[in-house]
Amino acid sequence: MQQEAIQQKELQKGMKEAIPIVLGYLPLGFAFGVLAIETGMSVAQATMMSVLCFTGAGQYIAIGIMQAGGAMITIIMANVLVNLRYLLFSTSTVPFLKDRVKPLAASLLSYGLTDETYAVAMNHYQDHEATASYMAGLNLTSHLGWIGSTLLGAVLGGFIPDTDRLGLGFALPAMYICLLVMMIKRRTDVFVAVFTAVVCLIIGFLIPSTMDNLSNIIIATIIGATLGVIINGQH
């Protein structure tokens, strides 16, 4: 009984700490749902995308590429590159989860790992032991918030005659700008970001029109990431 009480307390704590994340997901998830409907998806398809692909950045990228008429391979490659950071995120949680959370439970619950849940969890792990119940409360609540906001946007999106007036088309650039600002800690970070943007624009100008018009993003990302690793390795 005591163990069950502890697990319930940890579950509730995870759910409570997920509330700020859910509040942050509401506008982005709603915007995604609206844009997905505008792209031609059904309500079920838009909602299932949030169920199966819990990655806001990746989902927005997919929508953007679909709107631009890009190839499926571009969607896949862009998502792989953008979401590779989660491999590092999950690896850095191992010292906290090892010997405390069973590998299978940790693997399943890590499906809900996002930038926001990772930040909250790592802050929690500094002063508390990691538990599967806490992870479940945090990650599942956040995921349900994302799914619910997507469903709401998809349902109401059909009743919005002109989504451009709401500025939802700027949701993806705005999200990436916020992520970029949060990631910048040093002057070298600014240099790498500006350099990557310039490379992207140059490649986009020089690339043949017969090629996918979003390939420049992937190429510039690889070049920029390589430059960042080189610079960080010298410090």
Do 192 and 138 lie in one domain? The reply is: no
Q: Tell me, yes or no, whether 133 lies in a domain.
A: yes
Please state, in angstroms and rounded to a whole number, the distance separating the CA atoms of residues 35 and 47: 12
Q: Tell me, yes or no, whether 37 lies in a domain.
A: yes
Q: Tell me, yes or no, whether 33 lies in a domain.
A: yes
What is this structure's pTM?
A: 0.71
Q: What is the domain range of residue 227? A: 184-235
Do 131 and 209 lie in one domain? The reply is: no
Q: Terminal CA-to-CA distance of the chain, rounded, Å?
A: 52
Last residue of a domain, one of 110, 143, 168: 168
Three-state SS string across 28-56, please?
Answer: HHHHHHHHHHHHCCCHHHHHHHHHHCCCH
What does the pLDDT read at residue 35? 86
Do 120 and 152 lie in one domain? The reply is: yes
What does the pLDDT read at residue 83? 83
What does the pLDDT read at residue 43? 92
Closest CA to 179 of 32, 18, 24: 24
Enumerate residue ranges in the chain where pLDDT < 70. 1, 161-176, 178-179, 182-183, 208-215, 233-235
The residues near 15 (Cβ < 8 Å, ≥ 6 apart) are 137, 138, 141
DSSP state for residue 69 in the 8-state scheme:
T
Number of domains in the chain: 2
Cα torsion for 212, 39, 162, 143, to the nearest 10°?
A: -110
Upper half-sphere CA count for residue 103 (Cβ side, 13 Å): 1
Do 7 and 96 lie in one domain? The reply is: yes
Do 144 and 63 lie in one domain? The reply is: yes
* Contact criterion met (CB below 8 Å) for 162 and 44: no
Q: Tell me, yes or no, whether 93 lies in a domain.
A: yes
